[in-house]
Structure 1
Amino acid sequence: MEKWTPKHEAPEPLEGPVVSTIVGGTILWFVLFLAQLPFYGWFADRGHTWWVWTPLAGAGLGLIGIWYVRGRDAALKRHAAARAEADAQTAARAEAEPRSEAQASGADRHTA
C-alpha cells in the first residue's frame, strides 16, 4: 500500500551555537537543583523527593551532553579545515595544469 503523503526532501539540519546552548541548559538544571535543595524536607514530607533529584539527573546528563557536543564541534571544525585544504590543493593543481599545457604547446610551436 502506498503512502498518501508526498515525498519531500529533508531540510538541512540547523546549525547554531550548540555548545553554548547545552552549557546553558546544564547550568539551568544545576540552578534548579540548588534552588530546591533547601526545601528537601518539605518534598520528603510529601513523598516528592524525586523533584529534587530530577534536576540533578538533568545536570548530569547535561555534562555528558557538553562532552559530546564539544567533541562533535571539534570534529566538524577538523573536517572543514581538511576539506578547505584539499580544495585549495585541488585548485592549485588545476591552476598549474593549464600553464604546463600552454607551455608545452608553446614549446611545440617553437620547435616546429
Structure 2
Amino acid sequence: MSEERNAIPLILTGIASVVGTVAVLWYYGYLHFAKPQDALLLSEFTMLKTLPGEDYKVSLKPASQVAQCIDGVLVLFDTRQKGLSGVLVDDQKQAVRCLGQETPQQ
C-alpha cells in the first residue's frame, strides 16, 4: 500500500522558511547585504613613515573614519555612513594589530 505524497507543499514550506529566516535576520541586523559603495579599499589609505627629526605634513581636516583598538585589532568606523565598520588589513588579508589600549567597557 504505497501512497504518493504531494511534494509541492513540502518544497514551498522549505522555501518560505528560508526566505522568512533571511528576512528576520536582516530586519534585526544580523545579516547585512554589502553594497560596492560600502567597501573602503586599503588603497585609499597611505601610511606615512615617520623618521626622528624629520617633519611631515598632513591635512588639518580629519578623515571621516575613526579607528579604535578592539581586542588587539584596529577597527575602522565610518562617521558618514552609520553602521559601516571594518577591520584594517594588509595586502595579505592579515589584520593590523594595535598595542597599548584596552578593550572599551560599556
Fold shared by both chains (TM-score > 0.5): no
**TM-score calculated relative to the size of structure 2:** 0.25
Larger proportion of strand: 2
- The structure with the largest alpha-carbon Rg is 1
Q: RCO greater where, 1 or 2, for CA within 8 Å and sep 6 or more? A: 1
